[in-house]
Every structure is written in structure tokens, then in C-alpha cells.
A and B are shown apart, each in its own frame.
Chain A
Amino acid sequence: MQPLFLNRYAIASSSAIGLEATVQALQNMRSGLAPCAFETVHLDTFAGQIADTSLAPVRTDLAQFECRNNRVAQLCIRQDGFEEAVIDARRQYGPDRVGVFMGTSTSGILETEIAYRSRDADGMLPRNFPYATTHNTFSVAWFVQSYFALSGPAMAVSTACSSSAKAFGNAARMIEAGLCDAAVVGGVDSLCLTTLYGFNALGLLSPLACKPFDRERNGISIGEAAGMVLLEKTSSGLKRDGIALLGVGESSDAHHMSTPHPEGLGARMAMERALNSAGIGRDAVDYINLHGTGTRSNDAIEGKAVHAVFGADIPCSSTKGWTGHTLGACGAIEAIICALAVQRGFMPGSANTSMPDQDIPVHYLLATRSAAVDIAMSNAFGFGGTNCSLVLGRART
């Protein structure tokens, strides 16, 4: 594919809000996971919750979009000069030439979950409940589009935990097809009861902070986060070697709804297709940000797939020990972490992991280290056997 520049990006997670704080957290091994104290949830697990005090109400003229998920989106928009950069892009290209591609898994379902508690005597929900602009999967994309008064193509990509990695593919295709000149690409998911109790029902929640790729790993910690990227064909300003999206690889497992293919077939295909899409060989990749959720089988299978494509020596790690598994947002925030790794020259380690599983044949990083990273890969895999790998790196204009 033609490289597309990440001219501005922003991030908000339980670990850190903003790029600088995120780099600090990654370098200081400061995790955002804590015993779950979310809403009325009583589960023996850890969660990555963004402090309620950080989540300002959505802009008053967009009050119909008011919900936790859109608050998380807005928090991210307001970091790192992102808002200003999108306004500039709108001015430069025109509102109809800027698309919006948002990955989300549960969008604003929390508001509906709460509304079900206040059903009336006839079992009916509050009649004025704003379903479309809160709970609906599209809500967050519609919110972002409305926030910036954009009128290019807008969509929510909802493929569970690969959502916001795949959103980069949708954006890249629309730009290449000439339907837009720039894209606001991102992922937003926020804590809700459906995912906390749902993953609990599947027996996949760790009672402690998740430990990806650890010998003693025993499940995931759910987190909430948003990551946003302004993607453009050309590098902005005077920077001659910006960070670009170089390749996207997508595949389907064709195996099972909630467990990956035992040999990691779909994961392998996604990584190989991403390399092909970037037009590079496996040796060009310096670091892999793994999906690395922290469940027994997912990490073992991903390790097998990485080994099959790259061998045992490529440095890799999962950053979910910092953020938790942010589901539909993880593709975007981990792509941004890869961009930071390239830009700042470091490889993240793995918060909470102390003893890497020796049965997984990969070079797993425990501590964050300084290292030149020219090209990084980010993996995101999800329910339904959906897989997506992204290649990010320096692209010289």
C-alpha cells in the first residue's frame, strides 16, 4: 500500500492521558490496572479505569451524545494538539474530504445497561432514551464526525478486539480510492457491565492485574481507552521523515467464535499479509507489539504464530499490562504506542510480567529499553476469528 502519515495522534488510557505521560508510564513501568471498583460491579478482578474526574461531559452542543464512551473519545480528542490538527485538516481539505473511521466493540452500551434498571411497571424503558447517539455502535463515529463538523464518509468498525486496527484498513482504502484526503482513525471502548460480566462468564478474567506471556498468566484485565490518529497522504510541516502506516494485513480464522485457531493460522496470515502490504520482508521489522491478552491459550497461540513468521529472535511485548485489554480500542492505542516507539527510540517491556513463559518460543521483553525502532508491527485479534496486523514505521518523503 501507499504509506499514509500519522501526522497527529493522541491517546488516553487508564495508564496515562496524553503522549508524554504514556511514554513516561511505559518507561517507569507504571500500570493503570487496579482492583475493579467500576460502577456496581462486584467481580474479583482488576480493571483499567480512567478516573471519572478526568471524563468531562461532552461538549454542550453535542449533549445528545452524552455517555461514558463519548466522554472517553472527547478526552482523547483534547490531548496532544489533536483537536487543532483535525480543524486544520478540515480547513485545508474541506469537511467533505475528511473521513471518520472509529473502532469500537460496545460503544455506549453502559447507558442502556443502566436504563434497564429503571424499567417502569410495564417493563418499558425510558421513552426519551437517546439510543442512536449513545448505545448504537455508530454513536462514537457520529460523535467524532459531529465534533469536527465533518461530512466525509463515517463508519464504526466493530469486529470485537480487532476493530480499531481494522479501521486503519478502511481509512487507507477510502483514501487510496480517492473518497477522502485525510481520515480521523481511532478506537474507543469504555468499561461496561456486558464485557466485565461476559468475560467473567467465559472464565477469562484474571483475579489480578493481567500478566501477558507470563508463566503464571491467568487471564485478562479489561480496560478502557481511546486512541486517535489523523492519517494523511503527505507528511505535515517540515518533518521529512514522519511516522507512517506502511501495511495492513487482515484475515479470518474460520475456526471458532471465541477461541483462536490452535496453530494461529489466522494470526500468521494477518502478519504475512501486513508484510506483503508494506512490501517488506520479516527482517525489516524491529519490534512487535503483541495482542498479548494474558490468557493461557491466546498468548501461547500468538507466540506460535509469531515464531512461525519471524523466528525466535524478534523483540516483542504486550502493553496490556499497562492499559488492560481495551477491546475495540486496543488496535488504535497499540498502533500509537508503536508510533511512539519509532519516534522516541524505545521498545516497551511488559508491566506485571515477571517470568516469561519459556514454552513460548519468542524473545519477550520484560523491561522497557532504549533501542532504535524503524519499523514496528502491531497485532490485534478478536472474537469471531478476526485478525489484523499493522506495520508502522519511518517513511521518508
Chain B
Amino acid sequence: MKLFVESAAVLAPGLAGWVASRPVLAGEQKYEPAPFVLPVAELLPAVERRRTGSTVKLALAAGHEALIAAGRSADSVATVFVSSGNDGDVINDICITLAGSDRQVSPTRFHNSVHNAPSGYWGIAAHSHHPSTSLCAFDWSFAIGLLEAATQLQVERPEVLLIAYDVPYPMPFAGIRRVDQPFGTALLMTRDSTQRSIAGLDIELDRAAKDLSRMADARLETLRVGNPCASALPLLAAIARGQPETITLQRNAGQTMSVSIRRPNGR
């Protein structure tokens, strides 16, 4: 399946947005992990900002960055949200409450516990009636989201915004589900090439699993393996380099898919 990327966003420790991160991902600059600063979710009205945690804020900030870079308005695109799990802070808090004696769950926490909470806040903030889906494929959620976005372009609509995010869980939840660092990314993808296309992609499912692509830089590789959605890093790095190459992502247990990156418009 062929598609084009108009813009990319990335938010992680030492990767503060695409413009600053592109030379790092391309290997032109050294990666320096810096403390992560969650950007202000400008898209969200202040009242909603107070109600939301780091997961929603990270997802919306990543999506917003990609939209701005593509010069598109928030209400103009359908969205695919992926994460390897629901908001860890919210689930942890609810489970602690339910294990106690009074079981008084906060109503806001409850509606923020759904996997599609970021998608819901996005719709409100973006005033978007476009379809939005929220998917999960455990550690392989990014690749499955990319596949879903590609099929939407193939059969349903000319552009789609993929937003992928995972943040560390608090204790004791972190004892059974480890995520090391926050990582958010977004890709604004189109069916046809446009003036703004930064890369062309061609996605194929592998019949037999191939070796996964890794990051050459040891600390970026640590970031990649420490957060499910950071499995996007080899793809982001290939887009940053802008040279034709093929990378391999895991899409399900024991299964992979290949993504060939090419220059847009045959340049």
C-alpha cells in the first residue's frame, strides 16, 4: 500500500518536536536525552486541560504539531489513535479505589479511563465530526495503527492523521507493565503526493517475520525498546534521512511488516 507523509511530529525526552529532532534522528546531530517537558496542549480549552492527564496532553500535542506542520486545520482530518494501553494513572487510581472499602470512583476518572479518551478530547478540541478510531495491539500498536491509517487512505479518504502515544505507568501498576519514558508521535498521511509531502511510504505485510529495524545510536535504541510507541523511531529516522530504504516493524506477535521509504514526487 502506497501513501505519502506530509508531516511528522515527535515528543520524547531529548526529542522536542520534529524540527528540533529531525537532524538527531537523521544522525546529523548527537542525541542528548533531556528531561521530558510535556508541551501545553494548546488545542484543548483550559477547562478540559484541567481534567486531562499526561496521556491526553501528549497525544493532543503530538497530533497538533503534525497538523500545524502540514498547514491543515484540526477539523479537516479523520484520526487514528493508538496506544499500548489505557491511561495508566487513571487505571491505577481506579484499581486502588476499587480495592479499598468505599469504592467511590471519580466520575471524571471513569470517563477518562476509556482507551478512546484522547480521541474524545481531540474531537471536542478540534470540533471535528470526522471518524476517529482508537486501536490497541499491545507492544505492536504503532505498526497496527500505521496499517489502519494506510487502509483508510486506500479505500476511504484522502488524508488521515495517525497519533501514537505511551507514557510510563505509576506504581504499583508499573510493577506489572513497564514503560520507561513518554513517547508521542504523529504522522499526517495522504493518499496522493502533495506540495508538502516529505516522504512516500510503501507498506507490505511480510509472509515470514523479518529482523526488526533498530536505532544505530545506543541511547535512541534504549528509547525505542523502552516505550511501545517508540517502535516508530526507525520509521521516523528513515523519514528524517530522506533516502530510499526499507525498514521492518513488528505488527503482531511473531509477525512483521516492511515499510519502504522513498522520496516524494520521485525527486
Binding site for B on A (CB under 8 A): 96, 105, 109, 112-113, 115-117, 119, 123-127, 129, 131-132, 136-139, 141-142, 145-146, 151, 153-160, 166, 169-170, 173-174, 176-177, 179, 193-194, 197-203, 250-258, 265-266, 269, 382-386
Q: Check A158/B99 contact, CB under 8 A, given A125-B172, A251-B129.
A: no
Q: Check A136/B84 contact, CB under 8 A, given A124-B172, A198-B105.
A: yes
Q: In angstroms, how far is the closest chain A Cβ from the Cβ of B84?
A: 7
Structural contact, A177 and B124, CB atoms closer than 8 A = no
Q: In angstroms, how far is the closest chain B Cβ from the Cβ of A266?
A: 6
Structural contact, B137 and A155, CB atoms closer than 8 A = yes
Distance A105 CA – B94 CA, assembled complex (angstroms): 15
Of residues 28 through 65 on chain B, the ones whose CB sits less than 8 Å from some CB of chain A are none
Q: Output the nearest chain B residue to A100 by Cβ-Cβ distance.
A: B252
Structural contact, B103 and A193, CB atoms closer than 8 A = yes
Structural contact, B116 and A386, CB atoms closer than 8 A = yes
Q: Taking the complex as formed, is B17 at the interface, i.e. its CB lies under 8 A from any CB of chain A?
A: no
Q: Output the nearest chain B residue to A120 by Cβ-Cβ distance.
A: B172
Partner of B134, one of A151, A158, A199, A200: A158
Q: In angstroms, how far is the closest chain B Cβ from the Cβ of A189?
A: 12
Complex contacts, B27 vs chain A, CB 8 Å? none
Tally of A-B Cβ pairs under 8 angstroms: 215
Q: In angstroms, how far is the closest chain A Cβ from the Cβ of B204?
A: 10
Structural contact, B172 and A159, CB atoms closer than 8 A = no
| Total chain B interface residues with beta-carbon distance under 8 A | 67
Distance A97 CA – B263 CA, assembled complex (angstroms): 30
Structural contact, A153 and B111, CB atoms closer than 8 A = no
Structural contact, B116 and A383, CB atoms closer than 8 A = yes
A253-B129, A254-B128 given. 20 additional CB < 8 A pairs? A112-B176, A124-B171, A141-B137, A145-B252, A146-B253, A151-B255, A155-B136, A159-B133, A160-B116, A169-B133, A170-B148, A173-B154, A177-B151, A197-B103, A197-B110, A198-B107, A202-B110, A250-B133, A253-B123, A383-B114
Structural contact, A153 and B124, CB atoms closer than 8 A = no
Structural contact, A113 and B151, CB atoms closer than 8 A = no
Complex contacts, A139 vs chain B, CB 8 Å? 138
Binding site for A on B (CB under 8 A): 1, 75, 84-86, 91, 94-99, 103-107, 110-117, 119-121, 123-124, 126-139, 141, 144, 147-148, 150-152, 154-156, 171-173, 175-177, 205, 207, 251-255
Complex contacts, A117 vs chain B, CB 8 Å? 99
Complex contacts, A142 vs chain B, CB 8 Å? 138, 252-253
Structural contact, B133 and A170, CB atoms closer than 8 A = yes
Structural contact, A158 and B114, CB atoms closer than 8 A = yes
Complex contacts, B86 vs chain A, CB 8 Å? 137, 158
Among all A-B residue pairs, the 9 with the closest Cβ atoms: A384-B120, A198-B110, A158-B115, A250-B131, A137-B136, A116-B99, A252-B123, A177-B151, A138-B138
Complex contacts, B117 vs chain A, CB 8 Å? 257, 383-384
Distance A126 CA – B172 CA, assembled complex (angstroms): 10
